[in-house]
Structure 1
Amino acid sequence: MTKDSEETSLPIREEEGYDFRFDPNACAACEGACCRGESGYIWMKFPEIEAMAAYLEMTTADFARIYLRKVGHRYSLTEKRLGEGDYACIFFDETKKRCSVYPVRPRQCRTFPFWEQFKNDDEEVRKECPGIL
């Protein structure tokens, strides 16, 4: 490891109540596995919607019309279909294999892999994320 790569490496993350740790430096190698897969929901709260719209230099109304779908009383980002049973977040850049709105990504994305569903199932999250230690 060079001095430059040491300076830019991110610290290992741990969360109380989880039997695993997460190395965010593995994200560069996985090509966005957490951003794609089965169809699902990427929940957004209004402050996140506002921040993402501002980042994209759009009105909140235009952002909502183009990128959100209403599910019950909540909103989720739309998805794009990449193949049979393979979907990705609308903001997943397939060429660069990463999030195109990373600085303003939703809380759901920022907290991955420390989701409640993985608290007692680190085997499942290990299948999804190469950064699990």
Structure 2
Amino acid sequence: MIYKQGFDFSFDENACEKCGGKCCIGESGNIFANKDELEAIAKFLNLNFEDFKQGFLRKIGLKYSFQEVRFEEGFACIFFDQNRRKCSIYELRPSQCRTFPFWEYFKKNKKELQKECIGVCF
């Protein structure tokens, strides 16, 4: 069980095995990563940064977001393994993904969080 100061819920990371990747799929959104995170993923994929940008990223203002692909009735992160229903770069996932579900947004949107994550315990 994971607890984070300032949050009135905890997270059971073992629930991820049963979840099917609900945090990686759904409505379209942005999945931001910083330069170091992006460079590490490009290296892991054995791609130079330009090729990685072309194949996996989209520019949003001054930042980069992972591309999305159509999946089921919505979208999935381009790094979501649709067959295994897991993140294909889990060990290198960006901080936006690493900090889920402990986002400030969910402090006030608990019903939405309950729908999105079966590992949250109130």
Fold similarity call, TM over 0.5? yes
The match for 2:101 among 90, 102, 113 is: 113
Q: Match for residue 116 of structure 2?
A: 128
Match of 2:21 in 1: 32
Q: Residue type matched to 1:124 in 2?
A: E
Distance 1:115 1:56 in 2: 28
Q: Distance in 1 between matches of 2:109 and 2:61?
A: 28
> What code does the residue aligned with 1:15 have?
K
Count of residue pairs the alignment pairs up: 121
Determine whether 1:87 maps to 2:101.
no
Other structure's SS at 2:113 match? helix
Match of 2:34 in 1: 45
Task: Check whether the contact 1:43–1:77 (CA below 8 A) recurs between aligned residues.
Answer: yes
Taking structure 2 as the reference length, what is the TM-score of the superposition? 0.95
CA shift, 1:16, in A, is 1.1
Moved over 3 A (4+): none
Structure 2 residue identity aligned to 1:74: K
- For residue 23 of structure 2, give the secondary structure of its aligned residue in structure 1: helix
**With structure 1 as the length reference, what TM-score do the two structures score?**
0.88
Please report the RMSD computed on the Cα atoms of aligned residues, expressed in angstroms: 0.9
Contact in 2 for aligned 1:91/1:101 (Cα 8 Å): yes
C-alpha deviations, 1:6-50, integer Å up to 9, x for none? xxxxxx111111111000000010100000000000001100110
- Whichever residue aligns with residue 128 of structure 1, its letter is E
Native 8 Å contact 1:93 1:100 kept in 2: yes
Higher relative contact order (CA 8 A, sep 6+): 2
Corresponding position of 2:54 = 65
C-alpha distance in structure 2 between counterparts of 1:108 and 1:68, whole Å: 15
State the one-letter code of the partner of 1:125: L
Q: Identity percentage over the alignment?
A: 50
